[in-house]
Chain A
């Protein structure tokens, strides 16, 4: 055991530390898999750049405005690049299906008899994924960012950097909690995998991965500001791009934290209620 682990072992966090470190080692064994994914993940950027370039060129030719809702062509590309960073925190692939499978197949038993909290176990599990993801990204992201440097027109202030980092924490928390809650619906519904796809698509759209949310109709904007999904992608990107007025930053962070709190409470309640219904099939 390393020294860091030894110090931690004296605290109640010890068991979660063990989960985190073993899971990380396990994932590291498959890092080639990650590297492959990490490189090809950027392929859609090629299409995005040329598509938006064509759109802005067409506007220019038509003598139209060179910004779309305050976003230049450079901004549009920066937004899509930063989205990779935000999603690197908020996306926790497999969480929902793993949790629902554990519940459906009665695999939850093996966790219930252990002195650990299942939800915290899941958090550690996903955190390990994220650690390996970012370890690999340490090598794959910088070259991409270097290639794209001409698109970054805004130098973020210290305040923006700080808010951005906090918003990434919010992004991970919301992503993790939301996926857990959906996964726990398996306590009530036996087959959720198809329903899951619909939810994922709504999340994909409302988090701004497809289109920056400010381009959507003005009538939708109040709803989009208060929806939790924007905090999984759109807001972190816009904050670092300097597109959010300084005065609005505290309000944004506040709403983000509020959603983390709300989702946390919902997950606790659903867990409690769900366990009462849990039939431990096949146990």
Chain B
């Protein structure tokens, strides 16, 4: 275990050194994500220009949700997104060999190798948005809720990871999967708005097979008291099950790996 923690630290340090060599790049990426967040607020602003409440959600509650979603997607992109994209290339081009021969769990290595620091910085902006919106709502969050929120955010990041990692592993079977990656963006759409806007069937699907409502809606729900406690356990249980599933599918996929030029 200590070995894995030490290695994670080393990989993150290595990425930080690389990042510091391209400072403008870092700043521009910070700016673009900031703009994207701004555009989402314009969208929320336009929608709430038409009505005061949507399925019982006020504008600032919606902003809490958008902020939460931003924190989660940015943390996911910081830790896993690049790695999953790289994984599909490695599988297709047979470059996985270099990782397979290293004396460490390969899934761990390929999943956490690269860290994107601009996304980490961006997630703190999301946190600022949440605090601002909670202030507007005059909601005070106790330590218990804050801890629960943090745990559910981690859980959400892991759910995103399990989904995208599974899509990447698919490459073992189908050889090419650019469009599968696009699914991340398409599915991400579902976690941006309150689950209550959907009819029960879609809502049920988004809590089970495509668990996009466990992401964002659950942690934000804790902050604005819109989540019943039973769901919290369910959310964690789903996160853990999906994580176990990725370990299984990764092993299955590896059996199909053909390596390079052989």
Q: A and B: real partners?
A: yes
A residues apposed to B, CB below 8 Å: 30, 33, 36-37, 40-41, 43-44, 46-47, 50-51, 53-55, 58-59, 62, 64, 68, 191, 194-195, 197-198, 201, 205, 210-211, 215-216
The interface residues of chain B, by DSSP majority, are classed as helix
Which B residues are CB-close (under 8 A) to A215?
Answer: 46, 49
Known: A40-B182, A58-B51, A198-B32. A47 touches B193 (CB 8 A): yes
Known: A194-B32, A195-B28. A55 touches B47 (CB 8 A): yes
Instruction: Pick the residue among A47, A54, A64, A198 that contacts B192 (CB under 8 A).
Output: A47
A215, B29: Cα distance in complex, Å:
29
Would B198 and A198 count as touching, CB distance under 8 A?
A: no
Number of A-B contacts (CB under 8 A): 81
Q: Does B229 contact A (CB under 8 A)?
A: no
Would A68 and B50 count as touching, CB distance under 8 A?
A: yes
Proximity string of chain B (39-70) to chain A, C-beta cutoff 8 Å, 1 when within and 0 when not: 10011001101111111000000000000000
Instruction: Pick the residue among A36, A43, A195, A197 that contacts B180 (CB under 8 A).
Output: A36
Would B28 and A211 count as touching, CB distance under 8 A?
A: no
New contact pairs (8) apart from A30-B176, A191-B25, A201-B36, CB-CB < 8 Å: A33-B178, A36-B179, A37-B182, A41-B186, A43-B189, A198-B31, A210-B43, A211-B42
Would A44 and B28 count as touching, CB distance under 8 A?
A: no
A102, B208: Cα distance in complex, Å:
45
Which A residues are CB-close (under 8 A) to B196?
Answer: 54
Which chain B residue has the least Cβ–Cβ distance from A198? B32
Known: A40-B183, A194-B29, A195-B28. A53 touches B197 (CB 8 A): yes
Would A43 and B186 count as touching, CB distance under 8 A?
A: yes
B residues apposed to A, CB below 8 Å: 25, 28-29, 31-32, 35-36, 39, 42-43, 46-47, 49-55, 176, 178-180, 182-183, 186-187, 189-190, 192-193, 196-199, 202
Instruction: Pick the residue among B28, B52, B193, B198 that contacts A194 (CB under 8 A).
Output: B28
Would B51 and A64 count as touching, CB distance under 8 A?
A: yes
Instruction: Pick the residue among B55, B179, B193 that contacts A40 (CB under 8 A).
Output: B179
Q: Report B180 CB to chain A, min CB distance, Å.
A: 7
Would A194 and B25 count as touching, CB distance under 8 A?
A: yes
A215, B39: Cα distance in complex, Å:
15
Known: A33-B178, A55-B54, A198-B32. A50 touches B189 (CB 8 A): no
A255, B43: Cα distance in complex, Å:
28
Which A residues are CB-close (under 8 A) to B179?
Answer: 33, 36-37, 40
Closest 8 pairs between A and B when the two form their complex, measured CB to CB: A58-B51, A194-B28, A37-B179, A43-B186, A50-B197, A36-B179, A54-B197, A197-B32
Which B residues are CB-close (under 8 A) to A216?
Answer: 46
A43, B51: Cα distance in complex, Å:
25
Q: Could you jot down 26 A-B contacts, CB within 8 Å? A: A33-B178, A33-B179, A37-B179, A40-B182, A40-B186, A41-B186, A43-B189, A44-B189, A46-B190, A46-B202, A47-B189, A47-B193, A50-B197, A50-B198, A50-B202, A54-B54, A55-B51, A58-B52, A59-B51, A64-B51, A191-B25, A201-B32, A201-B35, A205-B39, A211-B46, A215-B49
Instruction: Pick the residue among B28, B39, B51, B190 that contacts A62 (CB under 8 A).
Output: B51
A68, B46: Cα distance in complex, Å:
11
Which B residues are CB-close (under 8 A) to A30?
Answer: 176
A264, B133: Cα distance in complex, Å:
46
A205, B183: Cα distance in complex, Å:
21
Q: Report A270 CB to chain B, min CB distance, Å.
A: 23
Which A residues are CB-close (under 8 A) to B35?
Answer: 198, 201
A205, B45: Cα distance in complex, Å:
14
Q: Report B82 CB to chain A, min CB distance, Å.
A: 15
Which among A30, A54, A59, A191 has the greatest number of chain B C-beta atoms within 10 A? Answer: A54
Which A residues are CB-close (under 8 A) to B31?
Answer: 198
Which A residues are CB-close (under 8 A) to B189?
Answer: 43-44, 47
Known: A37-B179, A194-B25. A44 touches B186 (CB 8 A): yes
Which among B182, B187, B196, B197 has the greatest number of chain A C-beta atoms within 10 A? Answer: B197
A55, B46: Cα distance in complex, Å:
11
A51, B106: Cα distance in complex, Å:
42
A181, B46: Cα distance in complex, Å:
32
Which A residues are CB-close (under 8 A) to B28?
Answer: 194-195
A64, B53: Cα distance in complex, Å:
13
